[in-house]
Amino acid sequence: MESFPADFQWATSSESFKVEGGWSEGGKGETIWDRFGHEGLASVNQTADLACDSFHKVDYDVYLLRGLHVNNYQFSISWARIFPSGHRGSQSEKGAVYYDKLINALIESGIQPVVTLYHWDLPQALQDYGGWTNTSIVEAFKDYADFCFSRFGDRVKTWNTFSSPWVVSHAGYGTGKHPPGVKDYVVASYQVTHNLLKSHAEAWHVYNDKYRMKQGGKVGIALNSDWAEPMDPSRPEDIAAADRYLQFMLGWFAHPIFVDGDYPATLKTQVEEKRRECPHSEPARLPVFTSEERKRIHGTADFLGLNHYTSRLVNKSDGGCTPGIQGVGDLQAHVDPSWSSTASDWIYSAPWGLRRLLNYISAEYLNVTKVPIHITGNGMPTEHSGDTFNDTSRIEYMRSYINEALKAIHLDGVNVQQFTVQSLMDGFEGPQGYSKRFGLHHVNFDLPDRPRTPKQSAYFYSQVIEKNEKKILLICPCHLVL
C-alpha cells in the first residue's frame, strides 16, 4: 500500500539495431547485426534494414512516449552511425544530427534522454580486426565515448557505457548464437569481458576528467543478471552453486567495477581448479589485470544498471572439462514448472527473484560505494499473432515485477531510482527476427510505413506512472496493484 518516491524515474527503452532501420543511410557503416541479417541468420531471413524505421520517425516515437507519461527514454547510439569505420576519422555528421534531433525532441516533451553507448551493434570494420578480442578496441571505444559526451552531453545527463555486456561475451564470442558468431568459450569470451571492462573504465574516466564538472551528468553500466535460487536451500553445495552462478554472470563484471578492480575470488578459484583438473582440455582461460588496471577499473560507475528478466534454480553438478558457465561453474540451472512461461525459451516469470537480486546487489556491491540501482531493463516477449492489443500476460508480468521493486524500496531499504520497461515498441529481436514481440506498442512490419499502435500494456504502464505521481493507490487488477 505504498507508492514509489516522488522523484522516481519511470522509463521505457529501445536499442538502435532493433528499431532504427536506415541501415546504410546518412553514411552509416555496416554493423555485425547488419551482416548477421544479410547472411540469412535471423528467422526466415529477416533483417533489420528497415526495422521500425525510427531513423525517419523521431516525432512519431516521441509522441508515443508522451502518451506513456514516462520521465526517461533509454535508447542506444549506433557506433557505426556516428563513426562508420569505428574511428573518429570516418565521422558522419548526418548520423550525429539524427541523435541531436531525437534528444532535442525528447527534452522539448519533458522526457530525459538516457543514452547507452553500446548495445551490441559493433561496427563490422572493427570486427574485421577481431572486435572485442582485440585490445586496440579499448582506445577506439574511449574515443567514440569522448565524441558522444562532447556532442550530446550538454543535454544527456545519464549514460550507460554498455548494456548487457555479459551477453556480448557469452552469446557473441562464447556460444556464437549472436554476431559475430565466434564459438570460443575457452579464450575469446573471457578476453572480450576483459576488454569490455577496460573500455568501460576508460569511458568513465574521460567523462570524469573532461565533462563531469561542466555537464553534471552520471555514467554507469547496465549489467544483466538472473536471480539464482538454490535448488535445495538446505544443501550447502546448492547454496554455493547458486552463488557461483551469480558470480559467473553478474560478478564477472560487477565485482571489478564496484568492489576491488578484479574478478571475484570465487570465479578465479573455480577457473584455476578447472585448469588443474583438465590439463589436456583447458575449459577456461581468465586474463589477469595489472595492478594499474585494477585501480583504473575500480569505482568507475555512478550507478549500477540492472537488466533482469527471469530466475533460475541452481544445483551442484560436476561440469567436468566442459567450457561455459555450467561446466566451469560445476552447476546446473533449471526452471520451476510452476513458473509462467513466455514466448522466449529463457524467460520465465519469477518476480520474487527481482527483490532478492536487488537485496543481493545492495549487500554485495553497494555497501561501500552507496551508488543507486537503476533497473535498466525488464520485460517479456509474446508471440506474434493477429491480436495486436490484448497482452494480459505482459501486464501481469509487469505488475508483479514492479511490485517486487516497490517491496525492495519500502520494506528492504534498497536504493532503486529507476524502472525501465523493455521495450517502447516491437523490434528486430536478432535470431528471432520479428517473431518475438517485447513492445508496449505493436508495430506492423508488413506495411512499409511501420505503423505503431498501443497495446493494453501501454495503457497499464501509463496508469501506473500517472497514479503513482498523483499518490493514488488502487486495488484493482485492471489498474494499479501495489
Query: In angstroms, rounded to a whole number, what is the distance separating the alpha carbons of residues 344 and 393?
Result: 13
Contact 351, 400 (CB under 8 A): yes
Q: Average pLDDT in the 115-123 region?
A: 98
Tell whether the model's pLDDT for residue 482 goes beyond 70.
Answer: no
CA-CA distances (angstroms) from residue 294 to 207, 208, 210, 318, 363? 19, 17, 21, 32, 21
> What local confidence, expressed as pLDDT, does residue 386 receive?
80
> What is the predicted pLDDT for the residue at 479?
42
pLDDT of residue 84: 98
| pLDDT 10s digits, 379-414 | 999 999 888 999 999 999 999 999 999 999 999 999
Q: What is the pLDDT of residues 344-369, one digit of tens each?
A: 999 999 999 999 999 999 999 999 88
For residue 164, give the amino acid letter. S
Q: Which residues contact 425 (CB under 8 A, 6 or more apart)?
A: 14, 19, 52, 61, 64, 439, 440, 441, 442, 443, 452
Q: How far apart are CA 345 and CA 140, in angstroms?
A: 35
* Four-CA torsion 162, 167, 168, 171, nearest 10 degrees: -170
Residue type, 348: Y
pLDDT score at 471: 59
What pLDDT does 387 receive? 84
Residue 443 is inside which H or E element, if any?
strand 441-443
**Domains in the chain, ordered, with CATH?**
9-475 (3.20.20.80)
List, for residues 190-217, the tens digit of each pLDDT value: 999 999 999 999 999 999 999 999 999 9
pLDDT exceeds 50 at position 112: yes
- DSSP per-residue letters across 264-301: -HHHHHHHHHHHHH-TTS---------HHHHHHHTT--
Mean pLDDT of the chain: 96
Separation CA 323–CA 328 (nearest Å): 6
- The C-alpha atoms of residue 164 and residue 15 are separated, in whole angstroms, by 12
Task: Encode pLDDT of 426-445 as tens digits.
Answer: 999 999 999 999 999 999 99
Q: What is the DSSP string of 128-144?
A: TTTGGGSTTHHHHHHHH
Question: Pick from 124, 113, 118, 193: which is nearest to 153 by CA?
Answer: 113
In which residue are the cell numbers 560487477 written?
Answer: 254
Q: Using alpha carbons, list the distances in angstroms from residue 373 to 112, 245, 295, 415, 420.
A: 18, 21, 23, 6, 12
DSSP 381: -
The pLDDT of residue 385: 84
